[in-house]
Amino acid sequence: MSQNQFPHDHPLDPGVPLPPIAHARFNVGEVVRHRLFDFRGVIFDVDPVFANTEEWYDAIPESVRPRKDQPFYHLLAENADSSYVAYVSQQNLVTDDSDEPIDHPAIGGLFDKLDNGRYRLKQSHRH
């Protein structure tokens, strides 16, 4: 096989359709809130498409289950009762314009202070 030929089912074969390219609407450090549920958080990582377990996905009620072909965000999240880590689809997030800090114990380890509604990654965590 020459360098320019691929087996028929190879992912780089021009006959195999590529998945749609998802564009992240939000960035690391942005404060967001959930569109349906009462919590907010700061983004600390982004997956271009769904990258969690099928068990996690199947546990979401079908009526509100998001598509997998969109960015998913890892949040240091808080609600009225607790702080936790959340994994949320792009379609379920909106910008939080409250300018209120997020109350999460891991914030200080990853981010500098809140500035103009956004956290900045500490120098040691940038690549």
Distance of alpha carbon 42 from its chain centroid, rounded? 10
Q: Tokens standing for 82?
A: 């607790």
**Mean pLDDT, residues 80-108:** 95
Cα(87)–Cα(81) distance, rounded to whole angstroms?
18
pLDDT digits (tens, 9 = 90+) for 18-69: 555 668 999 999 999 999 999 999 999 999 999 999 999 999 999 999 999 9
pLDDT at 20: 59
**Mean pLDDT, residues 79-101:** 95
